[in-house]
C-alpha cells in the first residue's frame, strides 16, 4: 500500500514540474525560445521530458 502512495506522490510531483515548466516556457517569446534552441511547438514535449527526468 505504501508503494502505491509513493507512486501517487511521485506522479503528482512530476505533474507539478510539467505544469510549471510548460507555463514558464509559454511565457517566453519566440526569439527567447530560439535562443534556447526550442520552437513553440516543442514546449509540451520539453516540459514532459523535464518532468519525467525527475
pLDDT of 54 reads 80
What distance in Å separates the CA atoms of residue 6 and residue 49, rounded to the nearest whole number?
Answer: 21
Nearest to 38 by CA among 14, 20, 22: 22
pLDDT of residue 40: 97
pLDDT in tens, 1-53: 899 999 999 999 999 999 999 999 999 999 999 999 999 999 999 999 999 99
pLDDT value of residue 32: 98
Amino acid at each position: 500500500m505504501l508503494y502505491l502512495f509513493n507512486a501517487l506522490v511521485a506522479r503528482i510531483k512530476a505533474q507539478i514540474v510539467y505544469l510549471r515548466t510548460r507555463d514558464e516556457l509559454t511565457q517566453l517569446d519566440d526569439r527567447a525560445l530560439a535562443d534556447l534552441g526550442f520552437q513553440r511547438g516543442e514546449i509540451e514535449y520539453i516540459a514532459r521530458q523535464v518532468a519525467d527526468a525527475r
